[in-house]
Structure formats: C-alpha cells, structure tokens
Amino acid sequence: MNKQLIILLVGRIVTNFADSFYMIVTLWYVKSVTDSVFLVGLTSAIAMLPVTIQFLYGPIIDRFSKRKILYVAVIGQGILVSIISILYFSGILFLPILFLLMFLALSLSEATYPTESASIEKLSSRKNLTKVNSIFAFSFQTLDIVSDAISGFLILFVGIGVIYISNGVLLIGTGLMFFFYLKIPKSKKESNPSTKKFFAQYKEDFIQGFRVVRKQKLLLSVMFGVIAMNVMGSMGIAMLPIISSTSVEFGFWLTAMSIGTLIGTVITSRLEEIPLNRVMPIVPMLSGVFWILSFITVDLVFMPFVLFGLSWVGIGIISIYIQTLIQVNLPEDYLGIGFSFISSLLGCLSPLGYFVGGILGEFTSGTLVLLVAGTGYVGFSLYFLFHPKLNKLTNKLSDEIN
C-alpha cells in the first residue's frame, strides 16, 4: 500500500478502536444504571440511527474535499466524547443527554465510513480493491479483538470516565493527523467547482446519485436480502449485555465476534475467484447454523464463545463482499453518494431490530431472542439460493454484476 493508504488505515484503526470502546462502555453504563433490558435495546437502537441518515452525506462527499470531511468529522466526534466524560465526572450524565451526545458523535462517525470507502477507491487500483479492503478490515478487526477482550477488564479496573476521556483525546489526535498528513486526489466534481448555490447543487447531486443507485438492480437485490439479515442480527446483538452476568463475560462475546470477523476478512481474498452464486448462499448458511448452536449450548463453558466466533467468520466474509461489490459496480464520480445511499439502505431497519430485540427480551428471554436472530442468516442464504437472478450470478467478486 502507498503512504496515503497507510495514513488512512492508521486513522481508521484508531477511530474504530475509540468507537468500539465508548459504545461498549455506554451499553454497560446504561445496564449498570438501569438494569433494564428495554433501555439497553433502546441504547443500541439510538446508536444505529445515524446509519439511516448516512445518505444525506453523499452529495457532500462527492463534491467536497474528502480530507476535510474526515478531519472535521473525527475532531468533532472527539469533542463530543470528551463532553460525555466531563458530564460523567461531574455526576450529571443523565440518559437523555448521553443518548443525544452519542447520537451526534456517531452521526459524525458515520460520515467517515463512506468517505473512507470512496477514498480507498481513489488511492488504490481496481485490481487491488479486494486486497486493500481486506487489509483495512483485517487491521481494525485485529484491534477490535484487543479492545473487546480487554473492555470488560478496563471497565472494572480503570473506570468508565477514564475510557471516555482517553477516547476523546485519541479521536482529536487522529483528526489532526488527517489535517496535517493526509492527501487524497480530487475527483472531477472537486476539480470543477459548481457555480450554483450550495443547496441547489446539493439537490441536483442528490437526485443524480439516487438515479445512479436505482439503476443497480442486481446490486440492490443483494442489499435487500442483507437488510433482512441485519435486522435479525441486530435483535440478537442487543441481547449480549443482557445474557452476560459480568462485564468480563460481555467482553468474551464481543471478542468472539471480533476474532471470527478477523478470520473472515483474511479468508475473503482467497475466495474472490469463486462465483458469487456459490459463496453467497453457503457462507451465511454456515454462519446461521453456528450462531444457533452457540446459544443451544450456552451452558457449556467456552463452547458457546467458540461457536459464536465461527458464525462471525462468515459475517466477516459477507461484509467485505458487500463493500467490494459496491465499489466495483458504482461509477467513480458517484461512489460517495452511492456508498451513503446503500449504507443507509442497509442500516435503515437495524435500529428497529435493536428496539424489537429489547422489547422481546423484556417479555421473553435474551437467549430466545438470540436463537431467533440466528435464523436471519439462514434466511439470507435461502433468499440468494432461490432468487431467480441472483442464483445465476457466476461473476467473480471483481466483476460488475449489472
């Protein structure tokens, strides 16, 4: 990878590290303060809401400096997390304020994901896209393993407030690194500034971007299946703090997720030559089976964590496939808005999944909700297998499917 990709990668690792920690801490804080299944589910739902508005960033990402978007968003996020830490130490971190600040911070974080994906496409050759995406995913998933593994111990021995303030400092530092060192080639739209007023140009770009995405019929067919899978998975993930008796056990579940995802990202580059209609049905089917088995065997000491980690191997593979499919199939000048639209599409119902998971967990049990959630991955496999067009996709990952 070239120097600019490395700078982007380092920034992604650090911000992912900070995001992971303050989200884990927030979930555990809400559980410890309220001991409410519903409020834990609501916290997760609020955390996912920024994904649903990601499509609004698209025209800005394509039209304006990606470097500037990155450093402004990351520094802003760091300031908001620092405010949360100050309120915590002051003893006035009330849940409505926490929810608002978390929503704003994660809204800025969501602006960075499509910006980085569009930047990767500008900084890497097309033939290396899968490899570069895998390296990015591998790197921050490795750090996810570390953060998830030690999060429970840090909450126990260091404290919530210290974790909040240290993450705020990390985010601000990363934003400054982007400001001083990151350089991203300009797109055609950046190189040819518009003579129209901001909102008029924004509206025009938004409509054009929407039309470009709407034409990607097969890509959207894949995404609709992923949406349903995400909703079911979200219901289950919301229950992990509930079925955990200690913060350390919660950390074990998160570690299993991260290790599985990491393995999946490593394997992905070795699967890219296999036709889509073979990989896409088989991988999520295995994920669903391992997920369900992990909660059937929930009383068998470490076995549930191993099985849960295996389920996330397939989920890691699918996540890289989805990102690469978007990069390959969307026109270069519409990558920002394309990523934003599709990311919003993918995440639009995830908050509902967390919310419904919280409600169901309140009236049934967290383990039952997790068992039901595993069927979503099996469902996606069947959807791809029996879809009249998707099951005929003999394309490789690097080929356009439209």
Task: Tell me the per-residue pLDDT of 342-388, one tens digit each, with 9 for 90 and over.
Answer: 777 777 777 788 888 888 888 888 889 999 999 999 999 999 999 99
Query: Mean pLDDT throughout 84-101?
Result: 93
CA distances from 302 to 258, 368, 371 (A): 16, 19, 18
Q: How many other C-beta atoms are found inside a 10 Å radius of the C-beta of residue 92?
A: 9
Task: Tell me the per-residue pLDDT of 193-242, one tens digit each, with 9 for 90 and over.
Answer: 666 777 787 888 788 878 888 888 888 898 889 888 988 998 998 888 88
Confidence of residue 89 (pLDDT cuts 50, 70, 90): very high
pTM higher than 0.75 for the full model?
no
Confidence of residue 191 (pLDDT cuts 50, 70, 90): low
Confidence of residue 334 (pLDDT cuts 50, 70, 90): confident
Confidence of residue 294 (pLDDT cuts 50, 70, 90): very high
Q: How many other C-beta atoms are found inside a 10 Å radius of the C-beta of residue 246?
A: 12
Structural domains of the chain ordered from first start: 3-184+195-392 (1.20.1250.20)
Q: For residue 289, is pLDDT > 90?
A: yes
Q: For residue 304, is pLDDT > 90?
A: yes
Roughly what angle, to the nearest 10 degrees, separates helices 217-237 and 350-363?
30
The overall average pLDDT reported for the chain is 84
Q: For residue 113, is pLDDT > 90?
A: no
What is the pLDDT, as a whole number, of residue 275?
86
Burial of 262 (0-12, 13-18, 19+ CB in 10 A): buried
What is the pLDDT, as a whole number, of residue 150?
74
Task: Tell me the per-residue pLDDT of 12-69, one tens digit each, with 9 for 90 and over.
Answer: 888 887 887 888 889 889 988 888 888 888 888 888 788 777 777 777 887 788 899 9
Residues contacting 180, CB < 8 A, separation 6+:
none
